[in-house]
């Protein structure tokens, strides 16, 4: 029996979460835009004061370097935008989490039984990973780009993928759904963060990038982007591996075989091979830079096809588009 009140509340919370993510995205963009302008404007002024006082004139590069930490440390207008964005981001994350909980309570089951719920859970996992990394590694520069991906994903889920909460399919009535699907959702959300960092790396590492005054000037150097993507994938890969193993065990209890080369199983394995190839190339062959990033992007493409393509383009035991 579906609780209509909780179902409607969940829908309202989803709308609120999307709006808050949009506000957070604008806040992150303001932090990048105004923080950079302040740093640039401060260079000639500081140099002028030093010369007027009889001291040596600082080179422009040294002055910019001295000014930038002050802005990043919370003294400038840009930092106010950044603090606002992070606050709204955390609030959006809380509202989003409440949406998932109320959705599950409305249907009296785990809240990932169809594509609408999968997309919502994966977006929530991606934001969770980002907030943890933001606290640990101070990667606020990734915020606006990830928020764009999250808003697009939730917009697609709300407009085109929505289904009213209802009972699970008979094959999904198992405690393994809380184990297998949770691991898959967590890994997919984490791989999404790595995918955004990889795309930024490929753009940033192109010759002539970033352009002076462009948004990418506030993004760290290509080496930092590569490191963030690599570390994130190293964390996600064992979780994805566990998800495949848990899925095989569940398949044996549900269908009487561990592996049947169902399209979802096949593409999950292809995705695993692609990410394993990326990590192996970095660990043994010492691949760095664009070659490794391209393998990572191919793996991310396999992940997206496994999630969307298999459910909508291919018929199989794991097609849960409806």
Confidence of residue 276 (pLDDT cuts 50, 70, 90): very high
E runs forming strands in 44-196 = none
Q: Is residue 110 part of a domain?
A: no
pLDDT of residue 274: 97
Judged against a pLDDT cut of 80, whether residue 192 lies above it is answered with yes
Judged against a pLDDT cut of 70, whether residue 58 lies above it is answered with no
Cβ atoms within 10 Å of 5's Cβ, excluding its own: 10
Confidence of residue 51 (pLDDT cuts 50, 70, 90): very low
Give Cβ neighbours of residue 161 (< 8 Å, ≥ 6 apart). 114, 115, 116, 119, 321
Tell me how many domains the chain contains. 1
CA distance 223 to 148: 23
pLDDT of residue 86: 96
Judged against a pLDDT cut of 90, whether residue 162 lies above it is answered with yes
231-258 as b/e, with b when 16 or more CB fall inside 10 Å? ebbebbbebbebbbebbbebbeebeeee
How far, in whole angstroms, is CA 320 from its chain's centroid? 23
CA distance 298 to 301: 5
Q: Is residue 139 part of a domain?
A: no
Domain assignment of residue 312, given as a range: 169-322
Q: Is residue 232 part of a domain?
A: yes
Judged against a pLDDT cut of 60, whether residue 194 lies above it is answered with yes
pLDDT of residue 319: 59
pLDDT of residue 35: 66
Judged against a pLDDT cut of 60, whether residue 39 lies above it is answered with no
17 vs 311: which has the higher pLDDT = 17
As a whole-number percent, the residues of the chain with pLDDT over 90 amount to: 57
Whether the CB-CB separation of 258 and 237 falls below 8 Å is answered with: no
Average pLDDT for 180-196: 96
Whether the CB-CB separation of 278 and 243 falls below 8 Å is answered with: no
Q: Is residue 50 part of a domain?
A: no
Please state the pTM of the whole predicted model: 0.84
Whether the CB-CB separation of 262 and 318 falls below 8 Å is answered with: yes
DSSP string computed for 221-254: PHHHHHHHHHHHHHHHHHHHHHHHHHHHHHHHHH
Q: Is residue 91 part of a domain?
A: no
Judged against a pLDDT cut of 60, whether residue 63 lies above it is answered with no
Q: Is residue 162 part of a domain?
A: no
Omega of the bond prior to 210 within 30 degrees of 0, cis? yes
**Average predicted confidence (pLDDT) for the chain:** 84
Q: Is residue 223 part of a domain?
A: yes
CA distance 278 to 130: 22
Average pLDDT for 69-91: 71
Judged against a pLDDT cut of 70, whether residue 66 lies above it is answered with no
């Amino acid at each position: 029996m579906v609780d209509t009140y909780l179902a409607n509340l969940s829908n309202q919370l989803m709308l609120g979460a999307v709006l808050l993510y949009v506000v957070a995205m604008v806040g992150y963009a303001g932090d990048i835009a105004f923080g950079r302008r302040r740093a640039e404007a401060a260079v000639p002024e500081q140099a002028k004061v030093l010369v007027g006082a009889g001291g040596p004139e600082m080179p422009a590069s040294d002055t910019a370097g001295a000014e930038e930490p002050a802005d990043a440390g919370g003294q400038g207008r840009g930092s106010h935008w950044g603090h606002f964005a992070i606050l709204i981001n955390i609030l959006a994350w809380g509202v989003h989490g409440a949406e998932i909980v109320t959705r599950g309570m409305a249907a009296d089951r785990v809240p990932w039984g169809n594509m609408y719920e999968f997309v919502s859970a994966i977006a929530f996992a991606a934001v969770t990973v980002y907030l943890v990394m933001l606290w640990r590694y101070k990667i606020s520069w990734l915020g606006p780009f990830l928020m764009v991906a999250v808003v697009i994903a939730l917009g697609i889920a709300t407009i085109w993928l929505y289904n009213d909460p209802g009972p699970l399919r008979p094959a999904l009535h198992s405690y393994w759904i809380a184990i297998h699907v949770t691991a898959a959702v967590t890994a997919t959300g984490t791989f999404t963060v790595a995918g955004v960092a990889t795309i930024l790396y490929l753009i940033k590492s192109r010759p002539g990038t970033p352009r002076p005054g462009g948004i990418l000037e506030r993004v760290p150097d290509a080496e930092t982007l590569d490191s963030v993507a690599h570390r994130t994938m190293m964390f996600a890969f064992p979780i994805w591996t566990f998800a495949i193993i848990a899925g095989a065990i569940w398949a044996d209890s549900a269908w009487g075989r561990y592996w049947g080369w169902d399209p979802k199983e096949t593409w999950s394995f292809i995705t695993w091979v692609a990410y394993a190839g990326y990590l192996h190339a970095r660990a043994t062959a010492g691949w760095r830079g664009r070659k490794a990033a391209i393998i990572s992007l191919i793996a991310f493409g396999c992940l997206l096809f496994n999630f969307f393509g298999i459910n909508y383009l291919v018929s199989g035991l794991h097609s849960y588009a409806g």
